[in-house]
Structure 1
Amino acid sequence: MTATVVADPVTATPPVPPRRWVLRVGPVALPVRPRLLVASGVSLALVLVLLVVGLGVGDFPLGPLDVLRILFGGGTRVENVVVFDVGLPRALLAVLVGAGLGLAGALTQTVARNPLATPDILGITAGASAAAVTAIALGSGAGAWLADIGIPLAALLGGVVGAVLMYALAWRGGIEPFRLVLVGVALTWVFQAVVSYGLTRAQINDVARAQRWLVGSVSAATWSSVATLAVVLALGVVVVAGIGRGLSLLALGDDLSRGLGVRAGRVGIVALAVAVIVSAVTVAAAGPVAFVALLAPQIALRLARTPQPPPVLSGLLGAVLVSGADLLCRSVLPGGLAVGVVTAAVGGPFLVYLMIAVSRKASA
């Protein structure tokens, strides 16, 4: 059985359709976009490079070759402790957090058909933040029951509650993208009020702890948080692969998608559910790392030149952003700086640019 590559007769909907082929292996046909494939390969290689380089940064500096030697079982006892017990959980968590936020951002932007529709804007991460801050700051009072279940579970619960409220308030016989964003922004401000109240009522030590969590940091990584996020992210990728064709047709609109045999409403619900669970677990592990869910899908969209953000490439670019930001925090910037500070510094100007671009496109 041999694999052949033939031209795909189906063209995409944008004015300049991305180049695309179909890889046929017997009865199986898989669409292949060379540009997307190359961008994904380069992004994956960059993630691995950042991972290896990051493991060598710290109080016990190591070169990339030394890191590879230790990873393949050639390290001393001290080197093994430095790499496997201290460095590797943090480095892997940075990769997984970025990948989760990038994947979730691509899904929400695709479903809402809006580049500004991310878990940060739609109230999902704000709900997780509100629950986590309540558990930290009011753990001895009103938030005692949240403190009892732990901050990660509290953040997960808050993210799910935020998503359910968003969906219930935005649903009017279907998902209306503009209404979805407006409801998400309103919920975000409501949850921010809860966060502010918790910070004003807490003890100073709890405020400092909550504030660092709110910025977003991977410095408190553990193997349990890495394992949990890895399993959730892997399951999310599997589900996204299963609805890949439906996701690619959402950009055509509900009516045309339905005519092509895709139930846009069902695909949207599944995609949103994956985005909510992945982003909530990600926020529970590292806090709301700002703007990664916005930046990664939009960069992926421009690199791949696809009609909508490709989820896997968005996840890989998210991993590059968070890993790179964490490497900067540990090697160049002042010590103790959280990774969320770097992503916010980069994401703020990009958000302004994106809003201007969307405004110009709408008025054209």
Structure 2
Amino acid sequence: MTTDVRPGPLGPEPQAPQRTRHRRILRVGSSSWVVRPRMLVTMAAAVAITLLLFLLSVGISDYPMSPVDVARVLLGGGTRIENVVVFDVSLPRALVSLLVGFGFGMAGALTQLIARNPLATPDILGITAGASAAAVAAIAFSTSWGAWLAGLGVPAAALIGGFATAIVMYVLAWPGRSANIGIDPFRLVIIGVGVTWMLQALTSYMLTRAQIADAARAQTWLVGSVSQATWSDVWPATIAVGVGVVAVIWLSRAIGILGLGSEVARGLGINAGRVTTILLIVAVLVAALCVSAAGPIAFVALLAPQIALRLTGSSLPTPLASGVIGAILVLGGDLLCRTVLPGGLPVGIVTAAIGGPCLIYLMIAMSRKATV
């Protein structure tokens, strides 16, 4: 096994070419891996913070426990009442926060890679809006025309809505005969924004026609909340994260090459159209299942990839790193709702309050970059 040091590609600031970062090439026999020390350190710190927030989230209840006590209970050393509090009350909420945050962060990184645009997230492209519209129909009209969706369950309804929206969006953005060059990013974003507004209008119309109790339940869910999470909500998010992680690892080489551009990818033997389609399907699946578990928690898919990109020094959003940052955002936001902010406040309000100014900042930064 040998290790050598070579200068890596430029960081996310192309205007300063004199600044370079180093990477290590780890060789074992005929195989080699690129090891980036900054990314490893950042990921280790992020995972440690995620674990601490997770233990704190489990420990906050009517029977409060310290992170050490929570770890002891999870490892099988708790009393009867501690086991009931942790496994039946607190653990589902903490797991949904962790998994949904990871899923939204990873889905946001994938859509930003596909569109090569930091504003291209499942929220903007209409994926979460489609999932939300179908889920609201299942929740608010379970006794009338939406009974067939309610019969399938909210996770299945959200999945159907997300995939139906993605199919419409993909067909409208299809490049025609030049399928091997992938989807036009600008066209994808513009179509996604239009689809999002139409679906939000449809959702608002359904809420005005629903019964008051059903509309109130759907409205709370639409904001994005993990306060009512149960074990039935854990499994859709677990499936989403599992499928997403496997797909990202399987397509890691193609994802890295696709980030260099469609023409470069085609020159290196990567079918950009096929890879883009697979990544879009994965992003839709992950986002729709996460929406079904906790609602469309705003701006996590936008913020997590951009924060991860700047912390790791990567030139492109990294799906796994973005997932960890997304988990931190949702776990931290939920902790704020339960400890500092007024009781009963959904976590989606916290992420929206943080994400709004960040969206303005990204738009200003993109505008300045475009004028340089």
Query: Which of 142-151 and 351-360 deviates more?
Result: 142-151
- The equivalent residue for 2:102 is 99
Cα-to-partner distance string for 1:249-293 (whole Å, 9 max, x where unaligned): 223221112112222222211111111100111001110000000
CA contact (8 A) 1:155 1:280 kept: yes
* Aligned with 1:151 (options 154, 158, 172): 154
Query: Which of 234-243 and 121-130 deviates more?
Result: 234-243
Cα-to-partner distance string for 1:67-92 (whole Å, 9 max, x where unaligned): 12212222110011101111111101
Change (3 A) 1:228 1:136: closer
Residue type of the partner of 2:212?
I
* Aligned with 2:133 (options 130, 133, 139): 130
- The equivalent residue for 1:346 is 354
Matches within 5 A, 1:327-342: 327-342=335-350
Structure 2 gap segments, 5+ residues each:
177-181
* Aligned with 1:360 (options 360, 364, 368): 368
* Aligned with 1:182 (options 185, 190, 194): 190
Distance 2:143 2:231 in 1: 28
Cα distance, 1:136 vs structure 2: 1.8
Cα distance, 1:128 vs structure 2: 0.6
Matched, 1:318 2:321: no
Distance 1:8 1:228 in 2: 42
Residue type of the partner of 1:5?
T
Cα distance, 1:5 vs structure 2: 2.0
Residue type of the partner of 1:159?
G
Matched, 1:241 2:256: no
Residue type of the partner of 2:333?
A
Using the size of structure 2 for normalisation, the TM-score is 0.94
Cα distance, 1:17 vs structure 2: 4.9
Give the 3-state SS of the residue equivalent to 1:21 in structure 2: strand
Distance 1:331 1:156 in 2: 33
Give the 3-state SS of the residue equivalent to 2:220 in structure 1: helix
Distance 1:207 1:17 in 2: 54
Give the 3-state SS of the residue equivalent to 1:7 in structure 2: strand
CA contact (8 A) 1:18 1:306 kept: no
- The equivalent residue for 2:5 is 7
Give the 3-state SS of the residue equivalent to 2:314 in structure 1: coil
Distance 1:310 1:189 in 2: 28
Cα distance, 1:10 vs structure 2: 6.6
Distance 2:247 2:71 in 1: 33
Cα distance, 1:343 vs structure 2: 0.5
CA RMSD of aligned residues (A): 1.5
CA contact (8 A) 1:90 1:220 kept: yes
Residue type of the partner of 1:46?
I
Distance 2:57 2:260 in 1: 42
Identity rate, percent: 60
Cα distance, 1:52 vs structure 2: 0.9
Query: Which of 228-237 and 338-347 deviates more?
Result: 228-237
- The equivalent residue for 1:278 is 286
Using the size of structure 1 for normalisation, the TM-score is 0.96
Residue type of the partner of 2:97?
A
Cα distance, 1:8 vs structure 2: 4.5
Matches within 5 A, 1:180-329: 180-329=188-337
Cα distance, 1:139 vs structure 2: 2.5
Cα distance, 1:326 vs structure 2: 0.8
Query: Which of 271-280 and 228-237 deviates more?
Result: 228-237
Structure 1 gap segments, 5+ residues each:
none
